[in-house]
Amino acid sequence: MTEKFGHVARLRGGIFGLQKDALYIADPLALNSVLVRDQDNFTESTEFSGLFGVIHHGSSLASVTGPDHKKQRRILNPIFTAKFVSKLAPVFYGVSHQLRDKLADDVRSHPDGRTVDILDYLTRAALEMISQGGIGHTFHSFDEQSREFEEFHHALQTVLPTAGRLFFVLPFLESWRKLKPIWLRHLLAGAVGYLPWPSARQFKWAIDTMHVRCRVLFYQKRAMLEGGRVSDTKGSTGIGKDLVTVLMSANADAGDGDKMPDGDIIANMSSIVLGGQETTSGALSRLLCLMVQDVDLQARLRAEVTGAYATTADNYLSYKELNSLPVLDAVCREALRLYSPVTFVWRETKEDCVVPLQFPLRDTSGAEIREVLVTKGTSVYIGLAAANRSAAIWGEDVNELRPERWLGKNIADATSNGVKMPGIFSNIMTFLGGGRACPGMKFALLEIKIVLSVLLAEFEFQAVPEEIDWRQGITVVPYVKGKERQGPSVPMTVKIM
Ligand code: HEM
């Protein structure tokens, strides 16, 4: 985008002029304005807040704006801090060891390695981590007979692709989800199940499946908390330290004005699972693909993690110890810079507003433009991937995987000319910045580092002839070229070391 169209581009409204022109932004100063300085003027788009409100059957972080969003973040932010997330390391190791053992069982009888769909394994691991660590539940994801896993995972896999096919109804979902009286809304929602539109029916099935599971879990958890039996959650649920248990305990102690209604907590449980599953399994699959393409880097990273585990008595590295492994850290930063699992986010302008530019544009007469007027109601697409891959920001080697970019340097010096980005992580935009930045960033990084280090210590990963096509949707999803109809997959050969 930035090479061809610059750091700010106008997107022409299509479809017989029914859609208005929109702006695509990847300019550092403009991003800072949209995400941080003037963030109250650039709200979540009505289309996305309506969509996520419907998906999660209520008001989660992903669907509220303004003061309601600030209030939810005030309650939710503390549970995502290093203090709580670091306590999940034992849970993540437990799941990673299950993943390692399952993979070892499946490839053991092939001394030269066996080709497997690594995405399937990583998807199970990511769902298990977000469910155990996030909402305090196990789907028994590594048990191939687990109906609960099959059903819930199918719902997660169905929801965003079918939502993409409902494009024409997106503008109406926000008013639809607030329709009163409630019985009429329920009646109409029930009727969707009978529409001659398969995508709408599948979408409804997926969101209802997610909602019912989260609702049941919420009331079970509340009964345990009220009975003082948090330890009942032991074993399958992160020993009562999962993020939602922490949230519910904090909510019970909060003053009346700050308390979150039950429905909002249930909606946030659903949003945490959806937000945390596909993004991390996609990031992990990408990291392993990169390891396969660069075998020297794979060996270097393996040497670092096996060296670190060798110094421990129990093959366990804490949150802090994992973060101090320089190659692991640099590889994660660089992979997340080059391959952002979410490539753009969508905002809407509430009032006319002037946005300054770091990289000036030229108008048709050749005059320099240093700021743009963004009028009320304009859709603004924030180019996360485009900003991460701008040569003007990162230098001519922007498209190369170069972990050295991060080694032995201040994060701020990683851009080629000291440009400061408003992203919350590592000067990159992958987890966004400002008041709506991803709260799950530390959770995701801990999970990625633990899974990667456990797998590399045990297995060698090798390339296969198939080519992967990473397709852009609401997240980026991998398909084998020519076999797209078989659904997402990432084949690679795995050999026990
Ligand atoms: C590599 C992994 C991940 C990436 C790249 C990622 C990226 C993002 C991005 C770009 C947003 C902003 C979306 C928007 O404003 O439209 C976001 C929001 C969010 N993410 Fe993540 N995420 C990841 C993992 C996680 C995890 C593990 C969790 C939960 C534990 C999580 C929970 C959320 C939630 C609840 C929001 C909504 C925040 C709000 O609107 O205030 N994410 N994420």
pLDDT at 453 > cutoff 60: yes
* Residue with CA at minimum distance from ligand 1 atom 24: 276
Q: Is 214 marked as a binding-site residue?
A: no
Nearest Cα neighbor of 440 from 55, 29, 42, 60 is 60
Ligand 1 near 438 CB (within 6 A):
yes
Nearest Cα neighbor of 262 from 310, 303, 214, 295 is 214
pLDDT at 72 > cutoff 80: yes
Q: How far is the CA of 373 from the centre of ligand 1 (A)?
A: 29
In order of their start, the domains of the chain are 2-496 (1.10.630.10)
What pLDDT is attached to residue 229?
63
Nearest atom, ligand 1, residue 268 CA: 35
What pLDDT is attached to residue 411?
82
* Residue with CA at minimum distance from ligand 1 atom 30: 440
pLDDT at 210 > cutoff 90: yes
Nearest atom, ligand 1, residue 282 CA: 1
What b-and-e string marks burial along 247-284, b requiring 16 or more CB atoms within 10 Å of the CB?
A: bbebbeeeeeeeebeeebbbbbbbbbbbbbbbbbbbbb
pTM: 0.94
Ligand 1 near 6 CB (within 6 A):
no
What pLDDT is attached to residue 39?
96
Give the ipTM of the model, two decimals please: 0.99
What pLDDT is attached to residue 20?
84
Q: How far is the CA of 438 from the centre of ligand 1 (A)?
A: 4
The token pair that represents 324 in the structure block? 């101090």
Nearest atom, ligand 1, residue 243 CA: 30
Q: What is the distance between the alpha carbons of residues 327 and 305, in angstroms, rounded to a whole number? A: 9
Q: What is the distance between the alpha carbons of residues 317 and 324, in angstroms, rounded to a whole number? A: 10
Ligand 1 near 85 CB (within 6 A):
no
What pLDDT is attached to residue 231?
53
Q: What is the pLDDT of residues 231-252, one digit of tens each?
A: 554 444 445 678 999 899 888 8
What pLDDT is attached to residue 17?
61
Higher pLDDT, 435 or 16: 435
- What letter does residue 20 receive in the DSSP assignment? P
Q: How far is the CA of 451 from the centre of ligand 1 (A)?
A: 19
What pLDDT is attached to residue 236?
41
Nearest atom, ligand 1, residue 345 CA: 16
Q: How far is the CA of 430 from the centre of ligand 1 (A)?
A: 9
What pLDDT is attached to residue 15?
67
Ligand 1 near 276 CB (within 6 A):
yes
Q: What is the distance between the alpha carbons of residues 42 and 351, in angstroms, rounded to a whole number? A: 9
* Residue with CA at minimum distance from ligand 1 atom 16: 345
Q: What is the pLDDT of residues 75-125, one digit of tens each?
A: 999 899 999 999 999 999 999 999 999 999 999 999 999 999 999 999 999
Q: Residue 13 — very low, low, confident or very high, per pLDDT cuts 50/70/90? A: confident
Q: What is the pLDDT of residues 334-367, one digit of tens each?
A: 999 999 999 999 999 999 999 999 999 988 899 9
| Mean pLDDT (the chain, rounded) | 92
* Radius of gyration in angstroms for the set of CA atoms belonging to the chain, rounded to a whole number: 23
pLDDT at 165 > cutoff 70: yes
* Residue with CA at minimum distance from ligand 1 atom 19: 438
Ligand 1 near 387 CB (within 6 A):
no
Ligand 1 near 88 CB (within 6 A):
no
What pLDDT is attached to residue 235?
41
Percentage of residues of the chain with pLDDT beyond 70: 97
Q: Residue 43 — very low, low, confident or very high, per pLDDT cuts 50/70/90? A: very high
| Rounded average pLDDT over 177-202 | 91
Counting Cα atoms < 13 Å in the Cβ hemisphere of 37 gives 13
Nearest atom, ligand 1, residue 271 CA: 35
